[in-house]
Amino acid sequence: MTAPFELTDDSVVVVIGTGAGGGVLANELAQRGVSVVALEAGGRYLPEDYVNDEWDSFGQLAWTDTRTTSGDWRVAKDFSGLPAWIVKAVGGTTTHWAGASIRFQPHEWKALTNYGAVDGATLLDWPIDAEEMAPWYDLAEAKLGVTRTGDRPGLPGNNNFKVFEAGARKLGYEEVHTGRMAIQSTDDGDRIKCQQTGFCFQGCKWGAKWSAAYTDIPDGEATGNLEVREKAHVARILHDDSGKVTGVEYFDEDGNLNFQAARIVAVAGNSFESPRLLLNSASSMFPDGLGNSSGHVGRHYMRHLTGSVYGIFDKPVRMWRGTTMAGIVADESKHDPSRGFVGGYELETLSLGLPFMAAFLDPGAWGREFTSALDQYENMAGMWIVGEDMPQADNRVTLSDAEDQWGLKVANVHYSDHPNDIAMRDHAYRQGAAIYDAMGATRTMPTPPYPSTHNLGTNRMSERPEDGVVNRWGQTHDIANLFVSDGSQFTTGAAENPTLTIVALAIRQADHIASEMSAGNL
């Protein structure tokens, strides 16, 4: 069933990473008859392997290879070796993700035009817009089975949502519902209906939530056009004298370095590993790394504003029961500079189990102020803030002096908040607390951002080659047969969770690559 390809076969498209971007691209190419070798650093885990235990699951799925951090974000102090909480496994971070799947708003595709220049920020318009993306969003929503799109009903609200919804309505918010989720809500779909298990972040054991690991990857393999090589860590992308890429070097499970030839290479290792790989592939012809003649590779790292608000009540909530991200308030996602910042944010319910709550509620805190909050765990409700953070040239991924187990330079992730980010987060903290106060909270807690889950922007898309790394197709401006296919393409972050957009871009890119290949242009 799965296609084996020769290392010397230079007719294949090599996809690096099998997450939201790479996993979907690999399948969509395979569906169009293109031969694909997907190289994935992590192993393969399926619903029967997932565990309903936060730290055990973290040990099973999370990317824990060395990374370093700098900048004034609190993550660099509290979790200096763990800038992101993302996955190293077939299916990438779609095993961890909560499933919130919302489209960018039309104005967000043109942030520079609509917000105006912001001091210290490197805002830019995307070279594409809402109209062009609409049909790709339709396909992405159908693929992921997103609730409240098409004829798919919403999920029922859990306890955490009911507190959130009632408080939001008391404040006058109107766009409040159980979200657009890539989680099966009915009995008649391809996937089992959500059983309200409450471990969405640990991999859905029912397969109710969409993950590339058990949908796109096996679908692609079933065509006979896709070979997924797991535990294959790509070290370098190579090129010939004409400046076209020729294939990739990767370490296999046994530590052997192999060369896989390729007609096209698509990089989809998430926003730290993708720029790292381009930088680590520097050569005499491309001394600053591949695709980096503009100097933008690694820059403009965005992670969404984030932050959480937890509220404590005098009665039980039991927020951990049911879907982790169980609903949304979208009223604040508009662009309304009268609030003191550009762009907007979403509020979405969130719950952590006791072990993660202890680690993330207020990292480093101790004593009774902290423990008296945990004592009320059963009476807590929680929400997460997802807002548009400002791209900044110096928030960036560079090569660190540290090396990983393969002797490759690792990514250093530098991030500092922009004043717009701080103003927006403060606003969101106040509104979040007000929602819980309206429900009689006895205490609310503005919780700092966790290690990043949304990682964007480090190979950004731009109309002009001097402004970014890739063009409107995710093709590098410098090298025609080198593509970027993950969240690192994002020109700006918008207020929405990014994965639906990553998937829509991947489907569109697959369509483009396949037609350019058959037209003989690639």
Partner 1 sequence: MALDTLTDMRRMTRRQLLTGATALGAFVIGNGYVTAAKADWATEMVAMKPEDFATLIQMARDIYPHDRVADEFYVRAVKSYDVQDKAEMAEAGIRALNQRSREMKGEDYLDIGWERDRVDVLRSMEDDDFFQTVRGGLVTGLYNQKEVWPIFGYEGSSYEHGGYIDRGFDDITWIG
| DSSP reduced 3-state for 108 | helix
Burial status of residue 86 (CB atoms within 10 A of its CB: 0-12, 13-18, 19 or more): buried
Among partner 1, ligand FAD, ligand SF4, none, the one that 366 touches (CB under a kind-dependent 5 to 8 A) is partner 1
Tell me if 302 contacts ligand SF4 by CB under 6 A: no
Q: Select 163 or 182, whichever has its Cβ closest to ligand SF4.
A: 182
| DSSP reduced 3-state for 435 | helix
Query: Residue from 209, 233, 396, 427 that binds ligand SF4 (CB under 6 A)?
Result: 209
Q: To the nearest whole angstrom, how small is the minimum distance from the Cβ of residue 462 to ligand SF4?
A: 36
CA-to-CA separations, 358 to 131, 161, 311, in angstroms, rounded: 44, 22, 15
| DSSP reduced 3-state for 52 | coil
247: β partners: 238, 261
Query: Could you give the string, one character per residue 42-81, with x where binding to partner 1 holds by CB under 8 A and - elsewhere?
Result: ---------xxx-x--------------------------
Minimal CB distance to ligand FAD: which residue?
Answer: 19
Instruction: Give the Cα separation of 423 and 432 in Å (integer).
Output: 14
Q: How many residues bind partner 1 (CB under 8 A)?
A: 43
Query: Residue from 31, 185, 459, 497 that binds ligand FAD (CB under 6 A)?
Result: 497
Query: Residue from 66, 70, 196, 258 that binds partner 1 (CB under 8 A)?
Result: 196
Query: Residue from 59, 355, 402, 430 that binds partner 1 (CB under 8 A)?
Result: 355
Contact status, residue 419 vs residue 248, Cβ threshold 8 Å: no
CA-to-CA separations, 468 to 126, 478, 482, 512, 521, in angstroms, rounded: 10, 10, 14, 20, 23
Instruction: Give the Cα separation of 340 and 283 in Å (integer).
Output: 46
Tell me if 99 contacts partner 1 by CB under 8 A: no
Query: Could you give the string, one character per residue 307-346, with x where binding to ligand FAD holds by CB under 6 A and - elsewhere?
Result: ------------------x---------------------
Query: Could you give the string, one character per residue 275-294, with x where binding to ligand FAD holds by CB under 6 A and - elsewhere?
Result: --x-----------------
Instruction: Give the Cα separation of 106 and 368 in Å (integer).
Output: 47
Q: Select 50 or 345, whichever has its Cβ closest to ligand SF4.
A: 50
Element (H, E) at 166: helix 159-170
Tell me if 194 contacts ligand SF4 by CB under 6 A: yes
Query: Residue from 57, 94, 185, 395 that binds ligand FAD (CB under 6 A)?
Result: 94
Enter the tokens of residue 519: 């037209």
Q: Select 202 or 280, whichever has its Cβ closest to partner 1.
A: 202
Among partner 1, ligand FAD, ligand SF4, none, the one that 209 touches (CB under a kind-dependent 5 to 8 A) is ligand SF4
Among partner 1, ligand FAD, ligand SF4, none, the one that 183 touches (CB under a kind-dependent 5 to 8 A) is ligand SF4
| DSSP reduced 3-state for 258 | strand
Query: Residue from 62, 118, 123, 208 that binds ligand SF4 (CB under 6 A)?
Result: 208
What's the CA angle centered on 227, arms 59 and 509, to 5 degrees? 90
Phi, psi (rounded to 5 degrees) for 342: -90, 160
Cβ-defined contacts of 329-335 (< 8 Å, 24+):
329/164, 329/168, 329/173, 329/175, 329/176, 329/435, 330/102, 330/175, 330/176, 331/173, 331/174, 331/175, 331/176, 332/427, 332/428, 332/431, 333/105, 333/495, 333/496, 334/105, 335/107, 335/108, 335/114, 335/115
Query: Residue from 366, 401, 407, 519 that binds partner 1 (CB under 8 A)?
Result: 366
The runs of H, that is alpha helices, within 415-497 are: 419-437
Q: Which stretch binds partner 1 (CB under 8 A): 86-94, 101-109, 152-160, 482-490?
A: 152-160
Instruction: Give the Cα separation of 320 and 52 in Å (integer).
Output: 12
Instruction: Give the Cα separation of 392 and 416 in Å (integer).
Output: 9
Instruction: Give the Cα separation of 1 and 223 in Å (integer).
Output: 7
Among ligand SF4, ligand FAD, partner 1, none, the one that 225 touches (CB under a kind-dependent 5 to 8 A) is none
Residue 522 one-letter amino acid: L
Tell me if 521 contacts partner 1 by CB under 8 A: no
Query: Residue from 195, 283, 371, 515 that binds ligand SF4 (CB under 6 A)?
Result: 195
Q: Using CA atoms in the order 438, 451, 455, 168, what is the torsion angle rounded to 10 degrees? A: -10
Query: Could you give the string, one character per residue 317-356, with x where binding to ligand SF4 holds by CB under 6 A and - elsewhere?
Result: -----xx---------------------------------
Query: Residue from 13, 14, 19, 395 that binds ligand FAD (CB under 6 A)?
Result: 19
Which parts of this chain interact with partner 1 (CB under 8 A)? 51-53, 55, 156-159, 162-163, 166, 194-199, 205-206, 315-318, 320-322, 353-355, 357-359, 364, 366-368, 370-371, 374-375, 377-378, 439
Residues near ligand FAD (CB under 6 A): 16-22, 39-42, 85-89, 92-94, 96-100, 201, 233-234, 268-270, 273, 277, 325, 453-454, 486-487, 497-500, 502
